[in-house]
Amino acid sequence: AEDTTAVGIRSIERKIIDYAWEHGFVKPQPATVKTGKKVAVVGSGPSGLACAQQLARAGHDVTVFEKNDHIGGLLRFGIPDFKLPKSLIDRRMDQMEAEGITFRTSTLVADTDKLPAGVRCDATSVVSPKALLEEFDAIALCGGSETPRDLKAPGRELANIHFALEYLIGQNKEVNGGGKNPINVKGKHVVVIGGGDTGADCVGTANRQGAASVTQIEVMPKPPVEYDVLATWPEWPRIFRTYTSHEEGCERLFSLNTNEFVGKDGKVTAIKVSDCEFKGGKLVNKEGTEHELKADYVFLAMGFVHPLDAVLDGFGVARDARGNAAAVPDPDTASGFMTSVPKVFAAGDMRSGQSLVVRAMSEGRRCARAVDKYLMGMSLLPAC
Is pLDDT of 1 > 70?
no
Burial class (CB in 10 A: 0-12, 13-18, 19+), 207: buried
- Cα 380–Cα 383–Cα 384 angle in degrees, nearest 5: 135
CB 118 within 8 Å of CB 70 = no
43-99 pLDDT, tens digit per residue, is 999 999 999 999 999 999 999 999 999 999 989 999 999 999 999 999 999 999 999
CA–CA separation, 112 and 125 (whole Å): 11
Q: Where in the chain is the domain with CATH 3.50.50.60?
A: 10-147+305-376, 150-302
Is pLDDT of 140 > 70?
yes
- Cα 319–Cα 321–Cα 324 angle in degrees, nearest 5: 45
Non-local CB neighbours of 122 within 8 Å, separated by 6+ positions? 67, 68, 69, 105, 106
pLDDT band of residue 212 (cuts 50, 70, 90) is very high
Q: How many CB atoms lie within 10 A of CB 380?
A: 10
Cα–Cα distance list, 338 to 109, 114, 327, 361, 372 (Å): 18, 26, 5, 17, 12
Is pLDDT of 231 > 80?
no
Mean pLDDT of the 338-342 span: 97
CA–CA separation, 6 and 231 (whole Å): 20
3-state helix, strand, coil in the chain (%, to 5): 30, 25, 50
CA–CA separation, 185 and 249 (whole Å): 14
Residue type (1 letter), 289: T
Mean pLDDT of the 294-312 span: 95
CA–CA separation, 47 and 73 (whole Å): 10
> Domain 150-302 falls in which CATH fold?
FAD/NAD(P)-binding domain (3.50.50)
pLDDT score, position 353:
92
Mean pLDDT of the 186-197 span: 95
CA–CA separation, 126 and 177 (whole Å): 25
Q: How many CB atoms lie within 10 A of CB 201?
A: 26
Sequence length of the chain is 384
Mean pLDDT of the 339-364 span: 95
CA 210 to chain centre: 26
DSSP string, 118-136: T-----SEEE-HHHHHHH-
Phi, psi of 190 (to 5 degrees): -115, 135
Residue type (1 letter), 105: T
CA–CA separation, 287 and 301 (whole Å): 26
DSSP string, 333-370: STTTTB-SSTTEEE-THHHH-S--HHHHHHHHHHHHHH
pLDDT score, position 178:
83
CB 123 within 8 Å of CB 107 = yes
In this predicted structure, which of 167-181, 214-228, 268-282, 315-329 has the lowest mean pLDDT? 214-228
Phi, psi of 213 (to 5 degrees): -155, 150
CATH of 10-147+305-376, one of 3.40.720.10, 3.90.1150.10, 3.50.50.60, 3.40.50.10310: 3.50.50.60
Mean pLDDT of the 113-132 span: 92
Q: How many CB atoms lie within 10 A of CB 320?
A: 13
Cα–Cα distance list, 205 to 9, 30, 183 (Å): 28, 39, 11
CA–CA separation, 298 and 12 (whole Å): 38
In this predicted structure, which of 112-126, 217-231, 316-330 has the lowest mean pLDDT? 217-231
CB 106 within 8 Å of CB 122 = yes
Average pLDDT score over the chain = 94
Is pLDDT of 184 > 60?
yes
Is pLDDT of 336 > 60?
yes
